[in-house]
Amino acid sequence: MPAVSEPLVDAVFERVRECIDTANHQLGIQLTYPDTSLSLRGRAAGTAHPNQWRLRFNPVLLQQSPNVFFEEVIPHEVCHLVTFALYGRVKPHGSQWRTLMETVFQAPANTTHQLDITAVQGKTFAYACHCGEVALTVRRHNKVQRGEASYRCKRCHQTLMPVSAVL
């Protein structure tokens, strides 16, 4: 995918500033603008790093769904910073965060996005249990291969085995 256009990058930074300004105005606080980058890879749309007062966004998913980013993803991540500033270390999607999402940012308090991640999915490896096949990421597959980890099915709790080993 080509690099993100400068106007879209500028719009992301502006939306982050708008969200911080909204929180400052509505809550009577004085938060600074966070360090913001479009350097996130993988399946996550965005991440907040409250201790570093930093936000990272996924440029591939941004280009695919800019409206979702501006309406949901950016407020979601800014809300993590605001929650941290007000309450310190609390549950990431706990009651404080949900309340701020709905009242300050007027956005749904969804904990995950519903964006199409096929463009950022990466290679997966087939594993299986009694329930059927499960796709593991390269990182998890390599940990299994090196004997550093094993993974269990969330439904039947059986240890997942590589499909080739199940046959």
User: Integer distance in angstroms from the first to the last C-alpha of the chain?
Assistant: 38
Could you count the other beta carbons within 10 Å of the beta carbon of residue 85? 17
Buried b (16+ CB within 10 A) or exposed e, 3-23: ebeeeebebbeebbeebbebb
Mention every residue, 6+ apart, whose C-beta is less than 8 A from residue 7: none
Q: Helix, strand, or coil here: 56?
A: strand
Nearest to 120 by CA among 66, 40, 36: 40
Cα–Cα distance for residue pair 50/97, rounded to 1 Å: 13
62: left (phi over 0), alpha (psi -120 to 50) or beta: alpha
Active-site residues: which are they?
Answer: 77
| pLDDT tens-digit series, residues 130-139 | 888 888 888 8
Could you give the dihedral angle defined by the CA atoms of residues 60, 66, 70 and 72, in that order, rounded to the nearest 10 degrees?
Answer: -70
Residue keyed to tokens 């995950």: 112
The residue type at 165: A
Q: What is the mean pLDDT of the chain?
A: 89
Q: What is this structure's pTM?
A: 0.73
pLDDT (tens digit, 9 = 90+) per residue, 4-55?
899 999 999 999 999 999 999 999 999 999 999 999 987 788 999 999 999 9
Report the pLDDT value the prediction gives residue 49, as an integer from 0 to 100.
97
- The contacts of residue 107 (CB under 8 Å, 6+ apart) are 71, 72, 75, 76, 79, 101
